[in-house]
Amino acid sequence: MKVLILGATGLLGQALMREWSGDEVVGLGVDDVDIRNAEKVREIIEKTRPEWIVLAAAYTDVDGCESNQELAFSVNRDGAVLVARAAKNAGAKVLFLSSDYVFDGKKTSPYEIGDARNPQSIYGRSKAEAEIQLLEVIPTCCIVRTAWLFGSGGKCFPDTILKLAATRPALDVVSDQRGCPTYSVDLARTIIQLCRKNAQGIVHVTNAGECSWFEFASEIVKRSGFSTEVRPVSTQQMARPAPRPAYSVMSAKSLLDNGIVVPTWHDALGRYLQERSG
């Protein structure tokens, strides 16, 4: 099988490039192809002729999206649709990366794939609109919604916490937002399986289990042996430009329907810390 990864230099893209073996994989970053450039996108896809395109490229600065709305929609929605159109013309299948931010975070039980989209931020809206338009272009495409991504090769929550814990006696971390941390390695392995299984439709992919950012930070600090105090604070106390969903736990049902089980975030954190120290 031949696979084209767009966004290969990002956090997930790097994990996909490391984990994917046994198939012919072409990975391109923004310097190779800007997904807003229709002609270039078409040219690359025509030249590469992949069976699958994994679309991991995105403008992922959630707060930045609030002040750069045009950029958010042009990359995350319009760029994604450009790729889908070119893929359709070339007969390639598409796996698109979406987000828990398509939901409003008001539920109190895990989000199922059929739950109504109601994004509260520009980033979430750009992803929700991309999903809808992509499904119009390629009704059989695979949309992987993930959340709270962490891993090597870029900025991520555990890395930030570890750097702060090394220099500060105490850290304030939000305790009223709950979600599912997701290790880039486990997400990459799941995406590889989904492509090999010819998966279609929406799939929620996170590590198993749930926690608040405070609980996640406490576990990171504890496992790393720092004596830094982790203090719970409210979302209100830590105002950010983009609203965050209070609850974005994703149900594993769609994963199980595809015959896939993803390890717990506790297990994933252990492997990440090992990878980081090695």
> Is 158 a residue that touches ligand NAP (CB under 6 A)?
no
Nearest-approach distance from CB 175 to ligand NAP, in angstroms: 19
Helices (H), 113-245: 122-137, 157-165, 184-196, 213-224
Quick one: which of 4, 5, 12, 250 contacts ligand NAP (CB under 6 A)?
A: 12
Contact present, 45 and 92 (Cβ < 8 Å) = yes
Quick one: which of 4, 5, 7, 244 contacts ligand NAP (CB under 6 A)?
A: 7
Quick one: which of 4, 11, 165, 180 contacts ligand NAP (CB under 6 A)?
A: 11
Instruction: Select the residue whose beta carbon is closest to ligand NAP and give its number.
Output: 10
Run of H or E including 6: strand 2-6
List the catalytic residue out of 123, 183, 247, 272: 123
Owner of token pair 């929406």 = 202
> Is 79 a residue that touches ligand NAP (CB under 6 A)?
yes
d(CA 167, CA 150): 21
Q: Which amino acid is at 101?
A: Y
Q: Is the dihedral of CA 127, 128, 131, 137 positive or negative?
A: negative
Q: Answer yes or no: 111 catalytic.
A: no
> Is 3 a residue that touches ligand NAP (CB under 6 A)?
no
Quick one: which of 60, 121, 206, 228 contacts ligand NAP (CB under 6 A)?
A: 60
Quick one: which of 120, 146, 190, 228 contacts ligand NAP (CB under 6 A)?
A: 146
Tokens of 242: 């983009």
Nearest-approach distance from CB 38 to ligand NAP, in angstroms: 12
d(CA 184, CA 69): 27
Quick one: which of 52, 65, 99, 185 contacts ligand NAP (CB under 6 A)?
A: 99
Query: In this complex, which beta carbon is closest to ligand NAP, that of residue 98 or of residue 218?
Result: 98
Tokens of 64: 């930045």
Nearest-approach distance from CB 149 to ligand NAP, in angstroms: 3
Touching ligand NAP, residues 13-52 (CB under 6 A): 13, 29-30, 34-36
Q: Give the number of residues in contact with ligand NAP, rule: CB under 6 A.
A: 25
Q: What burial class does residue 5 get, using C-beta atoms within 10 Å of its C-beta: 0-12 exposed, 13-18 middle, 19+ buried?
A: buried
d(CA 219, CA 66): 31
Tokens of 184: 């880039």
d(CA 4, CA 51): 8
Residues identified as active-site: 123
- Which residues of this chain interact with ligand NAP, rule CB under 6 A? 7, 9-13, 29-30, 34-36, 56-60, 75, 79, 97, 99, 146-149, 154
